[in-house]
Structure 1
């Protein structure tokens, strides 16, 4: 009987020791292990999912009346003017100036083939520029109804008007426009569209990665596929030049009724 009691005690002791050993093994197994140099490197999938966190703009936004809007538009044309300067490049630079410099010109852009587009806005601006003889608006039917601008005598006064009406914004607006002065309309179209889809994602609080931005760009319109091979370089350029949206402005979506 005494032997049985002692054996039972030994069994209990052994079980307790086994339980302690098991707990120790489990703790070791669950403890985070230091990664090897190879394991420290991110995987290809992880590299693609790098979220871009926008920085707040240091400047303050302002709202323009109709006259100031026309002066701003005229300054954009003057500042980046070349002989081949046309409506497509102008509208993309107008979009980028408004959204990136946070100059509210009361636009209502929608997604069109060549990027963000506001037909009514362009119509009013061009009418004002023409009425005050800042620019002659030319439409060439031989080149697919391409619209270009020819500076008139009064265009030389636009710079003075601009600096008087936009004293606090002049530096950041001109800094942006200088980056695009030698760009073709296609390059402006690519950057403007990428900026728009990027800004849309920030407004919607959606994830932002290179792959998602390129996907949104290509889904903007079927004709965007011709720019597929240029998107990576465009994104790198935007990051290098700090042309990064912060979620300012309105969403730019497909038109409810096709124009």
Structure 2
């Protein structure tokens, strides 16, 4: 773009530059005494725009419905597995969201068992019951009991996630028989790995494991050998942040 066009563009939105001595003096008068005190080394434009974007994002009923539909598909495929409960469902949702980059309204917090959104499960259980898809009972061997409208989410699923179906099915197949502790390890490693990338740190097994142990004191029960094996498996399967 030519300089003249740039000047016109800025002028049209109220950021015109001084074009003569009179305007220059007026400009100096307006900004007299102004001093930029920010640390230029610490300014991150990406974070600024992300904050603006997130602050302007309104959560709609569709956002809540979308995450319920994803949860329904996961349960639809895995409900016969006795390992599927709240924790495993959440971990799979977390990994679906962050490996595919899908837009999904969640608020995963640092909990002892890894990334966890305590409000999410209450909402999903309630919606499952209202839609007559599933009834959850933590005391049962198979915790999700199909109701009369089971499968009623599938048209919505095809609509919402048509671009991610292959990736979601891949994850469901990989984690189908995972126990709670196994998927807790994977999801927590993924979150630690992502934190390192987001902070532009050096990613290696040592740094990931260090962050894993600092996540919560309960993580000390997992050995370094087990964590190294999990990281290698995740790398070979392509289940990691980029």
Q: Same fold (TM over 0.5)?
A: yes
Find the counterpart in structure 1 of residue 88 from structure 2. Answer: 89
Find the counterpart in structure 2 of residue 43 from structure 1. Answer: none
Specify which of 191, 194, 200 is matched with residue 199 of structure 1: 194
Contact 2:82 2:142 in 1 (8 A): no
Give secondary structure in 2 for the equivalent of 1:136: strand
Q: Structure 1 residue runs of 4+, over 6 Å off?
A: none
- Mapped pair 1:79 → 2:77: yes
Contact 1:80 1:180 in 2 (8 A): no
- Mapped pair 1:69 → 2:67: yes
CA deviations on 1:205-236 (whole Å, 9 max, x unpaired) are 11111011011111111111222241011011
Contact 2:209 2:227 in 1 (8 A): yes
Find the counterpart in structure 1 of residue 234 from structure 2. Answer: 238
Give secondary structure in 1 for the equivalent of 2:115: strand
Contact 1:87 1:147 in 2 (8 A): no
Find the counterpart in structure 2 of residue 211 from structure 1. Answer: 206
For structure 2, the 5+ residue unaligned runs are 1-58
Contact 1:137 1:147 in 2 (8 A): no
Find the counterpart in structure 2 of residue 135 from structure 1. Answer: 134
Taking the TM superposition and a 5 Å limit, the aligned residue runs for 1:1-259 are: 65-81=63-79, 82-140=81-139, 148-228=143-223, 229-246=225-242
For structure 1, the 5+ residue unaligned runs are 1-62, 247-259
Number of residue pairs the alignment of both structures matches: 180
> CA 1:147–1:181 in structure 2 vs 1: closer, same or farther (change >3 Å)?
closer
Q: In terms of Rg, which structure is larger?
A: 1
Post-superposition offset of 1:156: 2.6
> CA 1:83–1:160 in structure 2 vs 1: closer, same or farther (change >3 Å)?
farther
Work out the CA distance in 1 between the residues paired with 2:93 and 2:63. 15
> CA 1:99–1:73 in structure 2 vs 1: closer, same or farther (change >3 Å)?
same
Work out the CA distance in 2 between the residues paired with 1:213 and 1:134. 39
Root-mean-square deviation over aligned CA pairs: 2.1
Work out the CA distance in 2 between the residues paired with 1:83 and 1:159. 23
Alignment TM-score, normalising by the size of structure 2 = 0.69
Contact 1:80 1:178 in 2 (8 A): no
Contact 2:83 2:177 in 1 (8 A): no
Post-superposition offset of 1:137: 1.5
